[in-house]
Amino acid sequence: MNKIEHIGIAVKSLENSNELFSKLFGVPSYKTETVESENVKTSFFKVGTNKIELLEATNEDSPIAKFIAKKGEGIHHIAFDVDDIVAEVKRLTNAGFVVLNDPEVSGLKKGADNKLVVFLHPKTTNGVLIELCQEIVLKE
């Protein structure tokens, strides 16, 4: 793993939260995106070299809606940048971690901000949802 790629925060209202975090960070969101496969709308902030992702459910079946219903708004996940997501999943699986969306089974999943993503089950990471992110590189 290279670095923390971003911290994801579950919110009820992206509009209200964008206003709040813009005031907090002193900068506007630089990107808003909907990820249909996850039933989520996202907004990204850059704070120095760090990124914060706000996540709002687009329907009640969304993992974000379920998270908020159970735990309320707050930190949802920590994402780490990796160079080779498939190799990293193999390494972590061999080390005993449980992958929620194994690319060997369901294929690679495209997430927000031009990333391939995989999540590790929080039961194997001391209750923290961990996301692995690999930048999608377009070949010319």
pLDDT tens digits along 68-122: 999 999 999 999 999 999 999 999 999 999 999 877 766 678 889 889 999 999 9
Q: CB-hemisphere CA count at 13 Å for 50?
A: 8
**Nearest alpha carbon to residue 51 among 61, 60, 62, 42:** 42
Asked whether the predicted pLDDT for residue 49 surpasses 70, the reply is: yes
Give the predicted TM-score (pTM) of the model. 0.90
**CA dihedral (69, 63, 91, 106) positive or negative:** positive
The two structure tokens encoding residue 32: 């808003």
pLDDT at res. 139: 66
Q: Is the pLDDT of residue 22 over 70?
A: yes
Q: Among 12, 23, 119, 134, which Cα is nearest to 83's?
A: 134
Mean pLDDT over each residue of the chain, to the nearest integer:
93
